[in-house]
A and B are shown apart, each in its own frame.
Chain A
Amino acid sequence: MNVLHIAWRELRSIFHTPVGWLVLGGYLFVTGVFWVYMVENYVLQSQDLVYNPYAASQLTLEDYLLEPFFGNCAVVLLMILPGVSMRLFSEEFRQHTMELLLTSPVSTAEIVLGKFFGALGFVGVLLLTSLHYPIALLQWGTPEPGVLLGGYLGLLLMSGALLAMGMLFSSLTSNQIVAMVLAFAASLSLFVLDWGAESPDDWNHKLALAPHLSDMLQGALKVSDIAYFVLFGAFCLFATHQRLESYRWS
């Protein structure tokens, strides 16, 4: 119950600040622009291929529209999530409200989970408000449900992992800008870690975020990819928990 109370307060608080609305508006605007260009591009390509039935059959909605679109959404999320996670604890330290939570009969784990689910709830709202893209698509095409599901699930899982990491940085400083910059730098590094990999078996390919995400965006739900995001997020939540415990005992 305590987790829910804290999560609900956090979610409301995000919408009480301009940052929440800016992030939501920014996300919808940027992904909207991507969507329009990509749909136009897809339509142009299909027109070009009218006299080439074989190539036209290769030009699927999934591969040429949805997957790259979700990929772009992921990059937008990567850029804006540090703005959501930066305030989670930094703001509490700065406003001295941490004392309220620390002296309430709630455990540190409940505080960490409450904050995390509050922030994840915001991403949930973000993804829900962008559902009109696939809904519009259903009006004139039959995209594969697996790709839609994988896309949204992939974005949600990635957001969870990145928010947990951003929260860890936020628990380390009372300066929100520092928390944001650290979270952004770490997210970006993690995303592109596989660029130097020569084979999929390389450690940096396995550790990088993008390969795990792209599997899901292709509609392939693999245990290893889901486990990657869940474990990564859980590790960051645990580290945040330890950090707060040491704050209490230092």
Chain B
Amino acid sequence: MIQVEQLTKVYGSTTAIDHLDFTIERGEIVGFLGPNGAGKSTTMRILAGALGATEGRAMVGGIDVFREPKKVKRLVGYLPEVPPLYVDMTVRDFLRFCGRVKGAESVRERVDQLIERVGLAPVSHRLIDHLSKGYRQRVGIAQALVHRPQVLILDEPASGLDPAQRVEIRQLVEELAQGDVTVILSTHVLPEVEAICDRVIVIDRGRIVASDRLDALSRAGTRIRLTVARPDEPLMAELNALDGVVSVESLGGGQLRVTADADVREAVARAAVSRGLLELGGTQGLEEVYLQLTGGEA
């Protein structure tokens, strides 16, 4: 559904994204992860047609984003980081306006239906200016959905929402993906990604540092910290020989750190027990991988 080839965007002397390549299939939910300023928003804005690229190609539904932007924009629903809302309009009027400029069919019915769907019915006659952050975010999502897009691009859709609202948005995105809508979303909230995304693309400093299915990626990030009463060389060797272990470091005082790209917790525990295992703890999952990939410290 989406093909990006060698996509590059340079602002003055800073390179926001640097020769990105990725493909997203129809109906997939893909999470963009990365620190602030990594280039997630820039990539999304280019795909949505808000921004031109310096170099490279981007195709949505087989159509070139730069050659036929109008056609692509009919296929794409986009929610920017700050929802674009005319605060002097009521929710219903605003959504009708969006429907008209985005070329939605039977705008009035569609808007009434959306207002029910995203839970805006209690505020549909209020000015957007008077809405809470949660409702504003919903109006932003409704605005992205009004023309029944095939691709939905959501830049931090859950930011500023309370946990219950996050769950609602997650359910909405899942429902849409079942209806064959392709979803790209960016977020800082890792559990969010783990809960709904099929695939994760990790971007750091304008480059893709990982792009994989979620389960494969989380497995790659196992880090185990253990304390044994009698650390010795044979133990180190034994641990190193375990299938999936990448490295074993001694931190002193009987503390060891094992890094692995598979879940080796059980095997490590078994090996360590004979040397008097005192303590074993570990982290496994996306957070670990994310921090390793983007150079953060756990």
Q: Taking beta carbons and an 8 Å cutoff, which residues of A are in contact with B? A: 1-2, 5-6, 9, 12-13, 16-17, 95-107, 248-250
Q: Cα distance A9–B100 when bound, in Å?
A: 11
In the bound complex, how far is the Cα of B289 from the Cα of A154, in angstroms? 69
Task: Report whether A100 and B100 are in contact in the complex, using a CB–CB cutoff of 8 Å.
Answer: no
Query: Is there an interface contact between B86 and A103, defined as CB atoms closer than 8 Å?
Result: no
Task: Flag if B48 contacts A103 (CB, 8 Å).
Answer: yes
Q: How many whole Å from A95's CB to the nearest CB in chain B? A: 7
Q: How far is the CA of A106 from the CA of B103 in the complex (A)?
A: 9
Q: Mark B33-77, 1 if CB is under 8 A from A, else 0.
A: 000000000000100111110000000000000000111011010
- B278 is an interface residue with CB less than 8 A from chain A: no
Q: Could you tell me if B50 and A102 are in contact, using CB atoms closer than 8 angstroms?
A: yes
5 residue pairs of the A-B complex, CB under 8 angstroms, read A13-B88, A95-B84, A100-B98, A103-B78, A106-B70
Type the 1/0 row for B123-134, where 1 means its CB is closer than 8 Å to any CB of A.
000000000000
Closest Cβ neighbor of A106 among chain B residues: B101
Minimum CB distance partner of A6 in chain B: B101
In angstroms, Cα B54 to Cα A65, docked, is 60
A57 to B147, CA, bound (A): 67
Question: Is B222 in contact with chain A by the CB < 8 A criterion?
Answer: no
Once A102-B49, A103-B50, A250-B11 are accepted as A-B contacts, the answer to whether A9 and B70 lie under 8 Å apart by CB is no
B51–A248 CB distance below 8 A = yes
Contact across chains for A16 and B73 when beta carbons are under 8 A apart: no
User: With contacts A98-B84, A248-B51 known, is A105 near B103, CB below 8 A?
Assistant: yes
- B241 to nearest A CB, angstroms? 54
Are B97 and A5 in contact (CB-based, < 8 A)? yes
Closest-CB distance, B258 to chain A (whole angstroms) = 47
Q: Are B70 and A107 in contact (CB under 8 A)?
A: yes
- List CB contacts (< 8 Å) of B68-123 with chain A: 69-71, 73-74, 76, 78, 80, 82-89, 97-98, 100-103
| C-alpha gap A98/B78 in the complex (Å) | 13
* Residues of chain A lying within 8 A (CB to CB) of residue B137: none
In chain A, what residue has the closest Cβ to B11?
A250
CA distance A44 to B222 in the complex (A): 97
Closest chain-A Cβ to B205's Cβ sits at a distance in Å of: 21
CA of A96 to CA of B76 in the docked complex: distance in angstroms?
18
Give the Cβ gap from B221 to chain A, nearest Cβ, in Å.
Answer: 35
Q: Closest A-chain residue to B100, C-beta based?
A: A5
Complex alpha-carbon distance, A22 and B74, angstroms: 39
* B73 nearest CB neighbor, chain A only: A105
Q: How far is the CB of A45 from chain B (nearest CB, A)?
A: 48
In angstroms, how far is the closest chain A Cβ from the Cβ of B72?
8
Q: Are B97 and A9 in contact (CB under 8 A)?
A: yes
User: Once the chains are docked, how many angstroms separate the CA of A1 from the CA of B99?
Assistant: 13
Which 4 residue pairs are nearest across A and B when measured between Cβ atoms? Answer: A100-B84, A249-B52, A16-B88, A105-B73
Tell me the nearest residue of chain A to B71, going by C-beta.
Answer: A105
* Known contacts A100-B98, A103-B78, A105-B74; A9 and B86 CB within 8 A of each other: yes
The verdict on B143 contacting chain A, using a C-beta distance below 8 Å, is: yes
Closest to B98 in A: A100
Chain A residue, CB-CB nearest to B72: A105
Known pairs A5-B97, A96-B84, A104-B102 / 11 extra A-B pairs, C-beta < 8 Å: A16-B88, A17-B88, A95-B85, A97-B85, A100-B84, A103-B48, A104-B101, A105-B69, A105-B101, A106-B101, A250-B11
Chain B residues in 8 Å Cβ range of A250: 11
| In the bound complex, CA of A99 to CA of B82 (Å) | 10
B52 touches A99 (CB 8 A): no
Contacts of A5 in B (CB 8 A): 97, 100-101
Interface mask (B4-28 → A, CB under 8 Å = 1, otherwise 0)? 0000000100000000000000000
Query: Mask for B233-276, Cβ within 8 A of A = 1, else 0?
Result: 00000000000000000000000000000000000000000000
Contacts of A17 in B (CB 8 A): 88
For A249, list chain B residues within 8 Å (CB). Answer: 51-52
B48 in contact with A95 (CB, 8 Å): no
User: With a CB–CB cut-off of 8 A, which chain A residues contact B50?
Assistant: 99, 102-103, 248
**Looking across the interface, which residue of chain B has its beta carbon closest to that of A248?**
B52
B87 shortest CB reach to chain A, Å: 7
Known A9-B97, A107-B70: A95·B76 in contact at CB below 8 Å: no
